[in-house]
Amino acid sequence: MAYDVIELTQNLIKCPSVTPKDEGALVYLAEQLEALGFECTRVDFGEGADHVPNLFARIGDKSPHICYAGHTDVVPTGDVNLWDYEPFSAHIEDGILYGRGASDMKGSVAAFVASVSSYLENNPIKGSISLLITGDEEGPAINGTVKVLKWMEENGHIPDVAIVGEPTNPDYLGQEIKIGRRGSLNGVLTVLGKQGHVAYQHLADNPLPKLVKILDALSDHIFDEGSEFFPPTNLEITSIDVGNEADNVIANSGHAKFNIRFNDNWSNETLSKKIHEIVKLCGFDYDLKLSPSAESFITKPAAWSDVMCKAVKDITGVTPELTTNGGTSDARFIVNYCPVIEFGGINATIHQINENANVQDLKDLSKIFERVLELHFK
């Protein structure tokens, strides 16, 4: 029996699984998959407050093996009084399904499960289909996908190809497929001075002009012109903090935070060296702490992305653009094991008050995933 994607999405949303809590989401998902013939395994990691629930489910035992990766954890709702409808009520109004996780990404998880149910109703299993669903994507991502992948490798479950169901489309379904993501590097810059009275500036050492000059050098630096699949590397200053509440005091120190999203011209190591080089040339004493968040990665256009593009066009009539923009995702872990692409719903309302998904888009997304299975196992 084929599942209804809207019913699945609503039931998942009704589980208030704010990361890292599960609140029954993976239990419900496993029940639906087991009814389809999947063998489901809970692969939890961490203890106490760090405990993260994860689910691996597989049907079939041979190649070709396609894996769908996603998450059922969601970000906090924010002020519930600002929502038009209770965040976990999964309310539908005028063809729009409201709820935390509707777009990011319970709707996509439901769409894939619905697509599998429809595919299996009409086709014998010719290879393997699996799902890697974590409860740790919106959190620190330490006890989720990265550890489940190691478990999969140890137990002979590494797929031939993978889809991550993150919402990839800015405006309409079929607009973009992610074939990679930029790397991310965070920085905290501190410049020390000497506190003093503004009227006796010769007795003080103002760190702020120095901080501004360093930030200006970083902000103006052109790291590269981009590459074949990536836009230019970009640095954004995210915070400047002095902690000075007085108008007549020169601060003792100034602090700034920045983030760099970088392409495949760089690694965290080479980019860190470049940042230190730029700051050092300014000639001031400084303290700089750099924290790598993710490396850039790419699954170059080939047979797997061709399958996804054809499936999207067959259902929507749209030829998707292959992009690498946006934030990081768990695809950064999966690319170390097999070719991975990302495709899901609309990302316009993710993490926002009144997060929502168009009901028809969810139905079409399920059809796209089913078409992917048809083409992959053809």
Residues 173 and 290 reside in one and the same domain: no
Residues 263 and 185 sit within 8 Å (Cβ to Cβ):
no
- Residue 259 sits in a domain of what CATH number? 3.30.70.360
Kind plus residue range of the DSSP H or E element containing 262: strand 253-262
Tell me how crowded residue 95 is: count the other CB atoms within 10 A of its CB: 9
Question: How much is the pLDDT for 244?
Answer: 84
For residue 243, name the pLDDT band (cuts at 50, 70, 90). confident
For residue 143, name the pLDDT band (cuts at 50, 70, 90). very high
Amino acid 186 reads N
Task: Give the separation between CA 21 and CA 179, rounded to whole angstroms.
Answer: 30
Question: How much is the pLDDT for 8?
Answer: 98
Q: What is the mean pLDDT of residues 278-284?
A: 96
Residues 242 and 177 sit within 8 Å (Cβ to Cβ):
no
Question: How much is the pLDDT for 73?
Answer: 95
For residue 267, name the pLDDT band (cuts at 50, 70, 90). very high
pLDDT at 49 exceeding the cut of 80: no
For residue 162, name the pLDDT band (cuts at 50, 70, 90). very high
Residues 245 and 315 reside in one and the same domain: no
| pLDDT tens profile 92-107 | 999 999 999 999 999 9
pTM of the entire predicted model: 0.90
Residues 319 and 237 reside in one and the same domain: no
Residues 172 and 100 reside in one and the same domain: yes
Residues 314 and 236 reside in one and the same domain: no
Task: Give the separation between CA 297 and CA 160, rounded to whole angstroms.
Answer: 18
Domain endpoint, select from 294, 327, 355:
294
Residues 167 and 305 reside in one and the same domain: yes
Task: Give the separation between CA 242 and CA 335, rounded to whole angstroms.
Answer: 41
Looking at the structure of the chain, the number of domains it has is 2
Q: What is the mean pLDDT of residues 9-35?
A: 96
> Which residues touch 67 (CB under 8 Å, ≥6 apart)?
129, 130, 131, 132, 159, 161, 162, 163, 334, 338
Residue 242: phi and psi, rounded to 5, are: -115, -35
For residue 161, name the pLDDT band (cuts at 50, 70, 90). very high
| pLDDT tens profile 181-222 | 999 999 999 999 999 999 999 999 999 999 999 999 999 999
Q: What is the mean pLDDT of residues 368-378?
A: 96
Residues 266 and 325 reside in one and the same domain: no
Residues 210 and 170 reside in one and the same domain: no
| pLDDT tens profile 298-332 | 999 999 999 999 999 999 999 999 999 988 899 99
Residues 23 and 165 reside in one and the same domain: yes
Residues 263 and 312 reside in one and the same domain: no
Decide: residue 302, CB within 10 A, 0-12 exposed, 13-18 middle, 19+ buried.
exposed
User: For 139, what's the count of Cα atoms within 13 Å in the CB-facing half-sphere?
Assistant: 23
Question: How much is the pLDDT for 378?
Answer: 85
- Residue 177 sits in a domain of what CATH number? 3.40.630.10
Domain endpoint, select from 294, 329, 358:
294
Residues 176 and 323 sit within 8 Å (Cβ to Cβ):
yes
Residues 280 and 306 reside in one and the same domain: no
Task: Give the separation between CA 85 and CA 91, rounded to whole angstroms.
Answer: 7
Residues 159 and 205 reside in one and the same domain: no
Strands (E), 19-156: 39-42, 54-59, 65-71, 92-93, 96-98, 128-134
Question: How much is the pLDDT for 168?
Answer: 95
| pLDDT tens profile 53-77 | 999 999 999 999 999 999 999 999 9
Question: How much is the pLDDT for 1?
Answer: 76
Residues serving a catalytic function are 73, 137
Parent domain of 276: 183-294
Mean pLDDT for all residues in the chain: 95
| Structure tokens given for 48 | 């106490």
Task: Give the separation between CA 162 and CA 339, rounded to whole angstroms.
Answer: 6
Question: How much is the pLDDT for 140?
Answer: 84
Q: What is the mean pLDDT of residues 241-265?
A: 93
pLDDT at 48 exceeding the cut of 90: no
Domain endpoint, select from 236, 263, 294:
294
Residues 330 and 134 sit within 8 Å (Cβ to Cβ):
yes
